[in-house]
Amino acid sequence: MGMQERRRFTRVPESLQIAYEVIPADEVKKYLTKDISQGGIRFLTHEFLPRGSRLRIKINFPKTLFSFEALVECMWIRQIPYSEEFEVGVEFVDLPSEVLDYLISYIWAFLRENPEKPEA
């Protein structure tokens, strides 16, 4: 038997501008996403974020001039070997329906344009 897929949503490898602040906020930090799905985002940071941390993020989609802010929760974090960077996986919390609709259409468009690039 094949491996059981654990992901609920298809991720696409997309490098988008992301800004976040840990709640309670002290300062805004800016990085690039590694991938995005309708359920969450993976990105790199130089800051350790404890699992369960809540962040307020802002994401820009430069091709369509769309941006949105959302509340996310840190689901996992791991340090990149031989680096001071951390890879973080966050899940959206209460994403507005119009943003969810945009993400779904954006992901489908990405997959149509890049059929070889989706990540499992």
- pLDDT (0 to 100) of residue 22: 85
**Which tops the pLDDT comparison, 83 or 118?**
83
pLDDT per position as a tens digit, 23-49: 877 788 999 899 999 999 999 999 999
Structure confidence by residue, pLDDT tens digits, 61-109: 988 899 999 999 999 999 999 999 999 999 999 899 999 999 999 999 9
**3 state SS of 17:** strand
pLDDT confidence of residue 78: 96
What would the two tokens of residue 74 be? 């840190």
Average pLDDT in the chain: 87
Q: Where are the beta strands (DSSP E) in the chain?
A: 17-22, 29-36, 40-45, 54-61, 66-79, 86-93
Say what the pLDDT of residue 94 is.
85
Query: Which structural domains are found in the chain, ordered by start?
Result: 17-113 (2.40.10.220)
For residue 119, what is the DSSP state?
B
Residue 86 CB contacts under 8 Å (≥ 6 apart), including other chains: 44, 45, 46, 47, 48, 49, 77, 78, 79, 80
Whole-number pLDDT of residue 5: 47
The one-letter amino acid at 36:
I
Alpha carbon 99 to its chain centroid, in Å, reads 13
Cα separations in angstroms, 87 against 42, 52, 84, 102: 7, 15, 10, 25
The two most distant CA atoms of the chain are separated, in Å, by 49
- What was the pLDDT predicted at 46? 92
What is the per-residue pLDDT for 119?
A: 56
Please give the backbone phi and psi of residue 87, each rounded to the nearest 5 degrees, phi first: -100, 130
